[in-house]
Homo-oligomer: A and B are copies of this chain.
């Protein structure tokens, strides 16, 4: 027998918790903190002083008075702490430097095939990170954590890719160890769709408990947020919806060896191939988007039909998972008017009313840097996690 676990308590008052409250904006002054945590004002002051001494918090201007002494506002001290987010795709590497408040300091994008293998690609990314640090005028030692999104399943606890189909040479490669001697920073590795889901959740839907982020690009994948956290599943392969079967397409073979997979009929590569067959040459999802935007009715029809097929799969997942928000991202979402129409139509037809009543289905609000940004958030959240902060402050009693 097992009981409920020990978390889920009322907001605790450790230094790390106090910092989290300041970072999230849940409390911006000492008096606020006292109210929210239930600690005495004196204790709060003591905690805040320690955080300020460690360079994690700073005082800003005074707030508005409400009839008495105006409060001193507190916020994260973003100067001495930055993180990097890295988005590795099949052929690209996007890098972003964030301060721990989540502000973008610098970005970089370039082309490198992930098939060149982990050493080459990670060395490349490391060069870019160093470049961004220099560009933003931040000392290398201020880099506190690195988040990396990769196009395949990852065992998040160890940072090792787990039989990734499109990353030759990366299987079981210990990514964090690569950076061990190069930076004094934690390295967090996750699937690219997961970090996009995280970024979208934290940015656009922070209060939401249950969110699906669907990326429609060459393939189709899904990031899952449950209870405000990423759901990775037992092997870290959760959200792999590209190979779920759809009705009526048993003739469509998929690279996975099965037929009628969602990806094989509604992915960007599949749409491009069918458009080529119809006499409109296209290779990638971007080409499909271009055809739609140029007014090609066949392309438009295909995208809408793809939306219906994606919607069929999502309708099942809505019943099963009961999310509050579904976000559609990826290359094909750039023509989201047509894609979403098909998706919405099918979900509202095939899902249970109770599950769709408050369901929001929306295009992604984050841009091309979504994955790198989400990877950066992963890094920030690790660095600012209460436990980590408590450890840091115990290690350096200042």
Contact = CB atoms under 8 A, between A and B. Distances in A.
A234 to B, nearest CB: 4
User: How many copies of this kind of chain does the complex include?
Assistant: 2
Interface centre among A2, A324, A384 (most CB of B within 10 A): A2
What interface size band does chain A fall in? Answer: 35 or more
Contacts of A5: 7, 228-229
A287 interface: no
Given A7-B9, A228-B5, A235 B20 contact: no
B315 A355 contact: no
A101 B353 CA distance: 40
B319 A241 contact: yes
Contacts of A49: none
A121 interface: no
A233 B210 contact: yes
Given A3-B384, A258-B349, A210 B234 contact: yes
A120 interface: no
A23 B233 CA distance: 27
A5 to B, nearest CB: 7
A169 interface: no
B260 A247 contact: yes
Given A234-B322, A235-B357, A322-B233, A24 B8 contact: no
A135 interface: no
Contact of A20 (B3, B231, B233, B238): B3
Interface string A259-300: 010000000000000000000000000000000000000000
16 contacts: A1-B102, A2-B201, A2-B202, A2-B228, A9-B387, A153-B354, A226-B226, A226-B227, A231-B321, A233-B322, A234-B323, A235-B322, A236-B322, A237-B355, A244-B319, A245-B350
Interface of A: 1-12, 16-17, 20, 23-25, 101-102, 153, 162-163, 201-203, 206, 209-210, 222, 224, 226-229, 231-241, 243-248, 250, 256, 258, 260, 312-313, 315-317, 319-324, 349-355, 357-358, 377, 380-382, 384-387
